[in-house]
Structure 1
Amino acid sequence: MNKNNLRSYWRKNTALIRNLLIVWGIVSLLLSILLVEQLNNISFFGLPFGFWMAQQGSIVIFVMLIFIYAFQMDKLDRKHNIRR
């Protein structure tokens, strides 16, 4: 792998990590803590949505982000011909 290809790979890798961390931060901090009172006015499966996000939703989103990261990194590895 040449130097430019390696730089491109790591730039895309760190951009993916940054974007997923931003989503995780928004979900865990904003929706589960800061906006919980406003979200509690919405009912979700019979529970206030803010409560559900704090208890279950942020965990569900986090697991989804793990699968998204794995899928996207597999595509990136193949695109840049990274062998395991």
Structure 2
Amino acid sequence: MTPENRAAYWKANVRLLFILLFFWFIVSYGLGIILVEPLNSIQIGGYPLGFWFAQQGSIYVFLVLIFIYAAAMNRLDKKFDVDE
């Protein structure tokens, strides 16, 4: 792998990480803390939606983001011909 390809691969990897972490931040901090009051007016299973996002939602989103990251990295590995 040439140094230019390594740099492009790393840049794409870091960009993907920042995008996924941004979405996780929005869900965990934005919906779980900042917007908790408006979300609490909606009930899911008897619990306020704001509570659900603060306690469970960010964990579920994190798990989904792990699978998205794995799939995206597989595509990126194939693109740069470093797949297994």
- Secondary structure of 2:41's aligned partner: coil
Tell me by how many angstroms 1:66 deviates.
Answer: 0.7
Q: Take 1:83 and 1:72, find their aligned partners in 2: how far apart are those partners? A: 12
Structure 1 gaps, min length 5: none
Aligned to 1:58: 58
Tell me by how many angstroms 1:13 deviates.
Answer: 0.3
Aligned to 2:34: 34
C-alpha root-mean-square deviation of aligned residues, in Å? Answer: 1.2
Tell me by how many angstroms 1:53 deviates.
Answer: 0.7
Aligned to 1:72: 72
Tell me by how many angstroms 1:83 deviates.
Answer: 4.3
Q: Which has the larger displacement, 41-50 or 72-81?
A: 41-50
Structure 2 gaps, min length 5: none
Q: Take 2:20 and 2:8, find their aligned partners in 1: how far apart are those partners? A: 18
Q: What amino acid is aligned across from residue 28 of structure 1 in structure 2?
A: S
Alignment deviations for residues 26-49 of structure 1 (CA, whole Å, 9 cap, x no partner) = 111110111111100112233211
Which segments of structure 1 move beyond 6 Å, counting only runs of 4 or more?
none
- Give the percent of matched residue pairs that are identical in Structure 1 and Structure 2: 50
Output the TM-score relative to the length of structure 1: 0.91
Q: What amino acid is aligned across from residue 31 of structure 1 in structure 2?
A: L
Aligned to 1:16: 16
Output the TM-score relative to the length of structure 2: 0.91
Q: Take 2:83 and 2:56, find their aligned partners in 1: how far apart are those partners? A: 36
